[in-house]
Amino acid sequence: MKRNKQMDIKVALALGSTFHFLYSCARACILPFLTLYLRHLGLTPSMTGLLMSTKHLISLVWSPLASFLSKHYNKRRAVITGSLVCSAGAALVLLLIPSTGVETLASHCNISHLSVSPTEELSDYVRVVGSVMPTTHTTIVSQSAAHESSLTETTSDTVSSAVSMSTTYTLQLQHSNNVTYQWSQVNVSLANHSKGGERNGLESHHGASNTSPTVRRVSRSAEKEKQQQREKNEARLEFLGSLKVMDVQNQLFFMLLIVVSIWELMAAPLEWTVDDGLYEYLDFVDASDRYGSTGVWGLLGAVCGVSGAGLLVSHLDCFIGSHTPRGAVHFYSYAAVTTLALPVVAFLPLYLNKKRSRSTGLFKALQLVRGDLRALLCAATVFLMGLAGSVVDDFLLWQMQDHGSSELHMGLSLAVALLSRAAFPLLSGRVSKLLSPGRVLLVGTACLAVQCLYYSFLWGPWAAIPVQVLSCFSSGALWWAVQVQCEDVATPGTERSVRRVYQALSLDLGAGLGSMAGGFVVHRFGVSVLFRGVAVILLLWCLFLPLLQWKAPRQRRINYSRLLAADTSEVSESESEQERDWLEKAMEDDEQ
């Protein structure tokens, strides 16, 4: 019976590790590159930051709520299966949303393969201006029809008529190779001249307009304004009519916001529900101490996903077929690997412990963290680390792309960071002997500050890879110190709830606020200034943290679950000696 029980534990751990490997691999195929795809669609940095912030904040609220509901109604397996299928479908829906028509010229795709096909003279002018006059504004004009932003190719060299448009996209190239987009709603006329260089299109156009009477022009403009206002009022009454009266870029932002929100609502319940079911099963068979081994497989799956997706996309042409950008491969990879995880869910061991209440556990964990000053300092540290981490996740690839990096460089850089984080458990024994958990928090914060400062001075495609080794301390050591803090502050049965509180503060709340603030900073000042600002904030916290830790009293609770799980070989006293110690202590208490 004991052997069968042990075999069930091994199978449960193997299934749990397989699921974490596949799901982490699927997420790594798309999430690190999501902001690059949003940049390709034409979103500004502030819009990108708001979109990613919404994603994090939805996860903050919906993950615990969905986990509680799935446990309350005993529908964990159905929730996991539905979450996998619906999240894959919602991710593919993003590919149906068209771009604004602006392609980043900083990408490594050949400009002749872009969906915007300018004339030969215009493309040459863009290259010359971008290399010789970095501060010059280059205007890319495309034809629009019926107030739409669809772009048409202009390949004829003998066109002499004026081409008018209602929307122009202005691309500003700066010395730091940062690419920022400015959109304006103005009417511009462009004359494409013949090879002979004749210039009479615009002159005849202006001459004809000057001969019309002033009164007639005023009446026509008034009638046109009334007609446009009438069309806007009618459009507002229709379904999603407010989107129709917006400009192209705002329409794109709100459509992406809706789809990304639905995607996060589908995907958020998955991780918490799987963790709760698997942990309660292992706890039921007295093997909860082996639950942590599944996290390592999740990191290894993320390494495979991010490096494999980057390698695959970097070897593709700019467009698959005629109109599909190669960035869509990230979404297809996510859907494919997510589908591979579905058979594992059918055999995943899930146990429902009705005696445990996750909601009360989280509230109790919040009280425990609030009542301990060192726990509050740890919470503030992980909040700042989550804020800085979201800035790195959202805009590091933008910085690398601006300095010539392809998806291959990006994938390898992120893979090195994940491998460094996964390697920290091998060093945790030595680190624990040299540094206390409070000092490890300080070292992790300092390493992340150094990384952010380094990111602001990138100079080439491979420049970001060496500093990623510091992720061993900026991420791996940080969460090891948080784990030790959880064990110190938690009462029996609340260890996972306290850990969940720290994860929510860092990965959801801190990341959400960091993405929002980072987007506005990049839109106003650029990516380099953002990384330097984050580095300064982290370094200032490194100065104040030791002083606050020195002032805070250390309150360490006795964790009875760890004492019961301790190996008997490490106990220096025999059972009889322990009994005498307990007896003597009890007699002393009675005498007092």
Q: How confident is the model at residue 27 (pLDDT cuts 50, 70, 90)?
A: very high
Residue 120 domain-assigned (yes or no): no
* Same domain for 522 and 425: yes
**pLDDT, position 232:** 58
Domain end among 356, 380, 405: 356
Considering the domain architecture, whether residues 340 and 426 belong to the same structural domain is answered as: no
Check whether residue 366 and residue 470 sit in a common domain: yes
376 in the same domain as 344: no
* DSSP annotation string for 220-268: HHHHHHHHHHHHHHHHHTSTTHHHHTS-HHHHHHHHHHHHHHHHHHHHH
Name the domain count of the chain: 2
Report residue 10 CA to chain centroid gap. Answer: 33
Same domain (yes/no): 42, 67: yes
Domain that holds residue 93: 1-110+247-356
Between 303 and 117, the higher pLDDT residue: 303
Asked whether residue 381 is domain-assigned, the answer is yes
pLDDT attached to residue 551 = 83
Q: Could you write out the DSSP letters of every residue in 498-511?
A: HHHHHHIIIIIIIH
CATH number at residue 324: 1.20.1250.20
CA separation for the pair 301, 117 (Å, rounded): 39
Structural domain contains residue 225: no
Q: Is residue 252 part of a domain?
A: yes
Are the CB atoms for 176 and 528 separated by under 8 Å?
yes
pLDDT digits (tens, 9 = 90+) for 526-545: 999 999 999 999 999 999 99
* Residue 579: inside a domain: no
* pLDDT beyond 90 at 264: yes
CB 464 within 8 A of CB 455: yes
What is the pLDDT, as a whole number, of residue 54?
96
- List the single range of 170-184, 439-453, 489-503, 560-574 with lowest mean pLDDT: 170-184
Mind listing the pLDDT tens digit for each residue in 123-146? 333 333 333 333 333 333 333 333
Identify the residue with better confidence: 311 or 573. 311
Mean pLDDT within 216-227: 65
168 or 96: which carries more pLDDT confidence? 96
Which has more pLDDT, 503 or 235? 503
pLDDT of residue 145: 38
pLDDT at 109: 60
Cα–Cα dist 145/154, whole Å: 14
Given 287, 321, 356, which residue is the final one in a domain?
A: 356
Residue 443 lies in a domain: yes
Check pLDDT > 60 for residue 565.
no
At 190, give phi and psi (nearest 5°).
-125, 130
- Give yes or no: residues 387 and 512 share one domain: yes
Residues 6 or more apart whose CB falls under 8 angstroms from that of 293 comprise 13, 17
In the predicted model, is pLDDT for residue 547 greater than 50? yes
Neighbours of 576 (CB within 10 A): 8
| pLDDT at residue 349 in the model | 86
Buried b (16+ CB within 10 A) or exposed e, 539-549: bebbeebeeeb
Predicted TM-score (pTM) above 0.85: no
**Backbone phi, then psi, for 118, in 5-degree steps?**
-75, 170
Q: What mean pLDDT do residues 16-27 have?
A: 95
CB atoms within 10 A of CB 222: 10
pLDDT for residue 569 is more than 90 = no
Mean pLDDT of all residues in 104-125: 40
Could you tell me what percent of the chain has a pLDDT over 90? 47
Angle at 478 between CA 475 and CA 482, to 5 degrees: 135
Residue 516 falls inside a structural domain: yes
Co-location of 271 and 324 in the same domain: yes
Shared domain for 347 and 495, answered yes or no, is no
Look at 38-52, 279-293, 507-521, 550-564 and tell me which has the smallest mean pLDDT. Answer: 550-564
pLDDT at 441 over 90: yes
Question: Where among 333, 356, 379 does a domain terminate?
Answer: 356
Quickly state the pLDDT bin for 217 (edges 50, 70, 90). low
Average pLDDT over residues 212-217: 52
- Is residue 221 situated within a structural domain? no
d(CA 103, CA 94): 17
What contacts 338, CB < 8 A, 6 or more positions away? 22, 23, 26, 84, 87, 88
Q: Tell me what the mean pLDDT of segment 368-382 comes to.
A: 91
What whole-number percentage of the chain has pLDDT above 70?
66
Q: What are phi and psi of 161, to 5 degrees?
A: -90, 155
Q: How confident is the model at residue 429 (pLDDT cuts 50, 70, 90)?
A: confident
Helices of type H across 315-436: 328-340, 342-347, 358-370, 373-402, 407-422, 428-434
**HEC letters along 489-535:** HCCCCCHHHHHHHHHHHHHHHHHHHHHHHHHHHHHHCCHHHHHHHHH
Within this chain, do residues 350 and 384 fall inside the same structural domain, yes or no?
Answer: no
Most confident segment among 140-144, 197-201, 453-457, 568-572: 453-457
Same domain for 378 and 509: yes
* pLDDT at residue 55, rounded to an integer: 96
pLDDT tens-place string over residues 185-211 = 333 333 343 334 444 443 444 444 444
Do 498 and 549 reside in the same domain of the chain? yes
Query: Mutual orientation of helices 373-402 and 511-524 as an angle, nearest 10°?
Result: 40
Mean per-residue pLDDT, 386-410: 95
Across the chain, what does the average pLDDT equal? 76
pLDDT at position 19: 95
| Cβ-based burial of 314 (10 A; exposed 0-12, middle 13-18, buried ≥19) | middle
Q: CA 541, 545, 547 angle in degrees (round to 5)?
A: 130
The DSSP element (H or E) to which 572 belongs, if any, is none
* Per-residue confidence (pLDDT) for residue 107, from 0 to 100: 45
Rounded CA-CA distance 404/449 in Å is 24
Q: Same structural domain for residues 25 and 96?
A: yes
Res 287: pLDDT: 80
